[in-house]
């Protein structure tokens, strides 16, 4: 009897399952408010679309170097100087097929099968699923309110002392919580990893989406970290599947060789268009201001729905809400919210295998009209 491999038997990405079900209901004529996926409601900036149109008209779209086209890598390097005052060589940059490819490349280049990698919980489920599919051991470390729901150096030391780990992956701003690590805390974690000989991977795909507290790049504290970023979130280019990595010298050739065989290159059209994204800041800041208004509205409206216990919404575009006053089964809560209220939410089991049944995640990346409609529907339903 033919069987799939154990590597292929990973858990579903529930946010995507919810989106698929919501899309099916819409196809049947039901109007759904989408708060389940972290996808900007706005299209890619005008300058990006114009650059892509010009590239299509001008001629052939083909393969590029596996690490990406030079003009885009140079522009990304300039971005680090402009935004953080950090000098980055274009040679250290790998352009990837979205941040998802960046995670695959990082995990394959840095770790052996069976290595242990620390993830904070709650956290992005694809980390856990990709690591499992690659034969790596996931070490989920629960974060706590007293630490602002961020992983600490002490927690890393404790987990490493119990059984050695080879990597730590942290996102700041985080998904699903939206929390941003304070600079001292981030520096402490990076220094601890270096002391213990642990690779540090910094997921910075929500950089640019902050609301008062600025997210710092891990490159400020060490040249030996691996940075993964994307044009999907702040730059509103989810479907373009384009991201990047910043790599220490010892990892560059490995990532290049892996990329050559796994992906050949990121889509050339998306690479050319992404160069223009850095010049679209005025339009993008306007979109971000809309997220800020959505955030302020939800912070005021959710408590009245019995959903006032949410994690700090420092950045990104999520409200991670404790629903234990209403249910002990957030999976059922999300299913009923979709079918009975027409509001698509993601159950917390996606992000936390231990405590997730008490939480749901709401994305406020949609329009202001959608946020008001979602609250109206949830209020009537609850």
| Tens of pLDDT, residues 92-123 | 999 999 999 999 999 999 999 999 999 999 99
102 and 220 together in one domain: yes
- pLDDT-derived band of residue 12, with 50, 70 and 90 as boundaries? confident
Query: Reduced to 3 DSSP states, what percent helix, strand and coil does the chain have, rounded to the nearest 5?
Result: 50, 15, 40
Residue 234 three-state SS: coil
Q: Is residue 172's pLDDT more than 90?
A: yes
Confidence (pTM)? 0.95
pLDDT of residue 1: 83
Do 329 and 337 contact (CB within 8 A), yes or no? no
Do 69 and 95 contact (CB within 8 A), yes or no? yes
82 and 228 together in one domain: yes
Q: Is residue 10's pLDDT more than 90?
A: no
- pLDDT-derived band of residue 79, with 50, 70 and 90 as boundaries? very high
301 and 270 together in one domain: no
Residue 182 sits in a domain of what CATH number?
A: 3.40.640.10
Q: Which residues contact 35 (CB under 8 A, 6 or more apart)?
A: 343, 344, 345, 346, 362, 363, 364, 366, 370, 374
Q: Give the end of a domain, one of 277, 310, 342.
A: 277
Could you give the number of structural domains in the chain?
A: 2
Is position 53 within any domain?
no
121 and 142 together in one domain: yes
Where do we find the tokens 């059984």? Answer: 163
13 and 118 together in one domain: no
157 and 306 together in one domain: no
Q: Give the end of a domain, one of 277, 300, 325.
A: 277
- Domain hosting residue 328, numbered range: 6-44+281-381
The residue-averaged pLDDT of 321-332 equals 94
Is position 293 within any domain?
yes
90 and 232 together in one domain: yes
Q: Is residue 7's pLDDT more than 90?
A: no
Distance of CA 19 to the CA centre of its chain: 17
Residues 29-46 pLDDT 10s: 999 999 998 899 999 999
């Amino acid at each position: 009897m033919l069987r799939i491999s154990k590597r292929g038997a990973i858990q579903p990405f529930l946010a995507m399952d919810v989106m698929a079900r919501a899309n099916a209901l819409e196809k049947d004529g039901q109007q759904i408010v989408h708060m389940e996926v972290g996808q900007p409601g706005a299209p890619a900036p005008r300058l990006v679309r114009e650059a892509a149109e010009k590239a299509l008209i001008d001629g052939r779209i083909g393969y590029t170097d596996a690490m990406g086209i030079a003009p885009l890598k140079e522009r990304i390097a300039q971005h680090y100087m402009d935004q953080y005052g950090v000098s980055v060589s274009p040679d250290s940059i790998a352009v990837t097929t979205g941040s998802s490819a960046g995670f695959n490349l990082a995990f394959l280049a840095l770790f052996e099968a069976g290595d242990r990698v620390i993830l904070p919980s709650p956290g992005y489920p694809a980390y856990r699923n990709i690591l499992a599919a690659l034969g790596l051991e996931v070490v989920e470390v629960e974060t706590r309110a007293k630490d602002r729901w961020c992983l600490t150096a002490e927690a890393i030391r404790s987990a490493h002392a119990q059984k050695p780990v080879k990597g730590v992956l942290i996102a700041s701003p985080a998904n699903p919580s939206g929390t941003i690590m304070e600079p001292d805390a981030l520096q402490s974690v990076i220094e601890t990893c270096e002391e213990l000989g642990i690779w540090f991977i910094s997921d910075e795909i929500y950089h640019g989406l902050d609301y008062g507290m600025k997210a710092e790049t891990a490159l400020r504290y060490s040249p030996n970290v691996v940075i993964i970023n994307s044009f999907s979130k702040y730059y509103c280019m989810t479907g373009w599947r384009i991201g990047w990595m910043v790599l220490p010298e010892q990892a560059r050739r490995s990532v290049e060789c892996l990329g050559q065989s796994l992906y050949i290159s990121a889509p050339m059209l998306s690479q050319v268009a992404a160069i223009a994204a850095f010049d679209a800041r005025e339009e993008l800041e306007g979109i971000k201001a809309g997220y800020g208004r959505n955030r302020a509205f939800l912070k005021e409206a959710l408590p009245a729905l019995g959903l006032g216990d949410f994690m700090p919404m420092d950045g990104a575009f999520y409200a991670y809400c404790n629903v234990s006053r209403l249910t002990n089964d957030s999976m059922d809560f999300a299913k009923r919210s979709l079918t009975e209220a027409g509001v698509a939410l993601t159950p917390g089991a996606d992000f936390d295998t231990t405590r997730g049944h008490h939480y749901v995640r709401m994305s406020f990346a949609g329009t202001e009209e959608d946020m008001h409609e979602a609250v109206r529907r949830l209020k009537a339903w609850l």
